[in-house]
Amino acid sequence: MNNLNIRNMKKIIFLWAALMMIVMDAGAQKGIDNGTPNGSGEDSVRCVTNVNLFIPYARNRNYEEALPYWKAVYEECPASSINTYILGVGIINWQISKETDPAKRDALINDMIKLYDDRIKYFGNMPPRNRRDYKDAVIWSKATTYNNLKGENTDHLLIYKWLGDVIDEFKENTFPSALMLYMVSSIKLFQSDMEKYKEQYVNDFLKCSAILDAQFAIAEAEKNEKDIEDLSSCKKEIETNFIASGAAECELMQSIYASKVEDNKTNLDALKEIMKILNRVGCNESDAYIAASEHAYKIEPTAESAMGLGTKALRNKDNAAADKYLNEAIAMSDDPEIKANLFLLLAVMANDKGQYMNVKQLCQKCLAENPNKGQAYLLWGSAYALGGRNLFPDDPVLNKLIWYAVVDKFEKARQVDPSVAAEANRQVNIYNKYFTSKEEIFMHPLLKEGDTFTLPGWINEVVRIR
| Residue 25 within any structural domain of the chain | yes
Last residue of a domain, one of 247, 272, 293: 247
CB 397 within 8 A of CB 417: no
156 and 105 inside one domain: no
With a pLDDT cut of 70, the percent of the chain lying above it is 92
Q: How many domains does the chain have?
A: 3
Question: Does residue 251 surpass a pLDDT of 60?
Answer: yes
Weakest mean pLDDT among 51-60, 138-147, 265-274: 265-274
Question: Does residue 122 surpass a pLDDT of 80?
Answer: yes
Domain boundaries, position 106 = 1-126
pLDDT by residue (tens digit) across 412-461? 999 999 889 999 999 999 999 999 999 999 999 999 999 999 999 999 99
Average pLDDT over the chain, rounded to whole? 90
180 and 231 inside one domain: yes
pLDDT by residue (tens digit) across 14-23? 444 444 444 4
Phi/psi for 282 (5° steps) reads 75, 25
Give the integer Cα–Cα distance in Å for 343 and 129: 49
Question: Does residue 215 surpass a pLDDT of 90?
Answer: yes
Average pLDDT score over residue span 53-65: 96
Q: In DSSP terms, which residues pair with 463 in a beta bridge?
A: 453
pLDDT by residue (tens digit) across 29-58? 555 666 677 555 677 888 999 999 999 999
158 and 234 inside one domain: yes
| Residue 349 within any structural domain of the chain | no
| Residue 416 within any structural domain of the chain | yes
Per-residue confidence at 98, pLDDT binned at 50, 70, 90? very high
DSSP 392: S
In this structure, how many other beta carbons lie within 10 angstroms of the beta carbon of residue 437?
Answer: 10
Question: Does residue 28 surpass a pLDDT of 80?
Answer: no
DSSP secondary structure string, 266-305?
T-HHHHHHHHHHHHHTT-TTSHHHHHHHHHHHHH---HHH
Give pLDDT, residue 239.
83
CB 328 within 8 A of CB 299: no
Give pLDDT, residue 32.
67
13 and 120 inside one domain: yes
Last residue of a domain, one of 204, 231, 247: 247
108 and 225 inside one domain: no
| Residue 268 within any structural domain of the chain | no
| Residue 451 within any structural domain of the chain | yes
122 and 156 inside one domain: no
Give pLDDT, residue 109.
98
99 and 174 inside one domain: no
| Residue 308 within any structural domain of the chain | no
94 and 173 inside one domain: no
92 and 32 inside one domain: yes
Question: Does residue 24 surpass a pLDDT of 70?
Answer: no
Nearest to 87 by CA among 104, 73, 103: 73
Average pLDDT score over residue span 155-173: 96
pLDDT by residue (tens digit) across 301-352? 999 899 999 989 988 999 999 999 999 999 999 989 889 989 999 999 999 9
Q: With 0.75 as the threshold, say if the pTM is over it.
A: no
Last residue of a domain, one of 206, 225, 247: 247
18 and 62 inside one domain: yes
Per-residue confidence at 280, pLDDT binned at 50, 70, 90? confident
DSSP secondary structure string, 161-221?
HHHHHHHHHHGGGS-HHHHHHHHHHHHHHHHH-HHHHHHHHHHHHHHHHHHHHHHHHHHHH
Question: Does residue 380 surpass a pLDDT of 90?
Answer: yes
Question: Does residue 247 surpass a pLDDT of 90?
Answer: no
More confidently predicted of 200 and 130: 200
Cα three-residue angle 162-166-104, rounded to 5 degrees:
25
CB 284 within 8 A of CB 314: no
CB 138 within 8 A of CB 104: no
Nearest to 346 by CA among 376, 365, 323: 323
- The helix (H) or strand (E) run that includes residue 454 is strand 452-454
157 and 232 inside one domain: yes
| Residue 172 within any structural domain of the chain | yes
Give pLDDT, residue 399.
94
Average pLDDT score over residue span 394-409: 96
CB 141 within 8 A of CB 116: yes
Question: Does residue 386 surpass a pLDDT of 70?
Answer: yes
Give pLDDT, residue 278.
86
Question: Does residue 174 surpass a pLDDT of 90?
Answer: yes
